Amino acid sequence: MEPLIDEAFLRRLANLKFIVKGRRKGKLAGTHPSPRAGTSVEFADYRDYSPGDDFRYIDWNLLGRLDRVLVKTFVHEADRPIYLLVDLSASMRLGDPPKARYAARFAAAIAYVGLRELDRVGLYPFCDRLLSAIPPRHGMGQMNHILRALQDVAPAGTTSLDRTIGDFLSASRESGLVFLVSDLLSRSGYQEGIARLLHRGDDIVVVQVVDPQELHPQMEGTFEIREVESGRSMELVVGRRTLAQYERRLGLFLDEMTAFFSGHRIPHFLVPTDLPVERLIHERLRAGGVLQ
């Protein structure tokens, strides 16, 4: 099978960085500013001297001018875990290329950017439950684990986003940057799960991968419309008017979704699979303020 990402693609990802909003606590030293004071070169503030403080940080000029013993504090730089929640339910095998393949390629690219940024990156594939997760870790060795897991994905099962996110929150105690990659074309709902993520303090980026045929179906005639996850089907004579109604209904659904995400200030990207992953990353994600 064709590799998910090639060397040329990786080279083009080399200069990308995540845009960090606010300061988040991090367990380990990293490149993102932390609310804690630390030992970086970036000055943060002054505070009164307390016994035990390092004499080297006392500002002797201010002591001379103000006759107050003040200590300089600096910005603490911490890492931030990046969670890749990739939908591998049966509906993700639709399309050409399959949506799952597209999602895997995108997730691999984000993992690479994160690991280069010295962040910990974890992979959480799911359908109606979490599948074999790869907990967040540093280093390019982690990249190999993630690539191996994404290389031969076999989508199957139904989708249950709310339940999956509940499982995810139990599995990962630390908040971070969550990339949710799914087609989100399910009546089972996503709002509750997203709300729980927000509650924990995660930054969320939603990448909704859809097949162009799902956005604008090109079909005419009698069809057995079959739901790929449940196997349910219905007979329908499809014509121009039917398709127009379908697109109208889809538009409403997507508008509702967009309103929800924008209401929570969650970047949401509706991505057809005929859009190259490189363009998604370099154009859409940069324009959307996720990467720089």
Partner 1 sequence: MTLVAPTALYLLLAGGAILLLYFLRTRSRRHEVSDLFLWDGLPSEPRSRAARIRQRLEPLLLLQLLVLTLVSVALAGPAMRVARPHLAGMAVVLDGSASMRSRARDGTVRYELARQAALDLLRRYPGSPVVVVQFSSAPSVLSSFSEDHADALRAVSTSAPTFLADGTAAQLRVLLESQGGAGRFDRIFWLGDHRLGGAIPNLEETLFPPDENLAVTAFNVRQNPDGSGSTAFVRLVNHGASYREGNAKVSDGVRAAVLSFVLAPGREEAYVLPLPGSLGPVFVASLDTKDGFPDDDVRYFTFPALIERRIRWIGEENRYLLAALQVAGPVALLASDDPSAADLVVACGTTVPAETTGNALLVHSGLAGLVEIGGDAEPGPLVVAAPDDPLLAQVDPSNFRVRASPSVALDEEVRVILALGSQPFLCRYADVRRRIVFVAPDLLETNLPLTVDFPLLVANILRSFSSSSDREATADVLVGEPIALGDYGRAVRLKGPRGEELPLPAGTETFVPPAPGVYTLSTDRGTFPVAANLDPAESFSPAESSVLTSPATAPETRKSALVGLWPYLAALALLALLAEDLLYRGATWRRSR
Least distance from partner 1 to the Cβ atom of residue 262, Å: 22
From 102-110, 115-123, 190-198, 248-256, span contacting partner 1 (CB under 8 A): 248-256
CA dist., res. 210 & res. 182, Å (int) = 8
Q: Give the per-residue contact string, 189-228, with partner 1 (x = CB under 8 A; - = no).
A: -------------------------x--x-xxxxxxxxxx
Pairing of strands 177-182, 203-210: parallel
Question: 235 is written with which tokens?
Answer: 């007979």
The reply to whether 187 sits near partner 1 by the rule CB under 8 A is yes
Contact status: 101 vs partner 1 (CB under 8 A): no
Task: Please tell me whether residue 91 binds partner 1 under the rule CB under 8 A.
Answer: yes
Strands 203-210 and 268-272: parallel
Q: Is 183 in the site for partner 1 (CB under 8 A)?
A: yes
Q: Which residue has the tokens 């929800």?
A: 260
Q: How far apart are CA 73 and CA 42, in angstroms?
A: 9
Q: How many residues belong to the site for partner 1 (CB under 8 A)?
A: 35
Stretch 31-90 residues interacting with partner 1 (CB under 8 A):
none
Nearest to partner 1 of 220, 255 (CB atom)? 220
- Euclidean distance between CA atoms 105 and 107, whole angstroms: 5
Q: Residues, the chain, total?
A: 292
Query: Interface with partner 1 includes 6 (CB under 8 A)?
Result: no
Q: Given candidates 239, 276, 283, 292, which one binds partner 1 under the rule CB under 8 A?
A: 239
185 binds partner 1 (CB under 8 A): yes
Omega before 276 within 30 of 0, i.e. cis? no
Report the Cα 84 to chain-centroid distance in Å.
5
Under the binding rule (CB under 8 A), the answer on residue 2 touching partner 1 is no
State the nearest-atom distance from the C-beta of 221 to partner 1, in Å: 5
Q: Minimal CA–CA distance to 31: which of 116, 125, 127? A: 116
- The three-state secondary structure class of 14 is coil
* Residue with Cβ nearer partner 1 (195 or 225): 225
Residue 181, Cβ density class (10 Å: 0-12 exposed, 13-18 middle, ≥19 buried) = buried
Binding residue (CB under 8 A) for partner 1 from 25, 68, 249, 279: 249
Residues near partner 1, by CB under 8 A? 91, 94, 183, 185-187, 214, 217, 219-230, 232-239, 241-242, 245-246, 249-250, 253
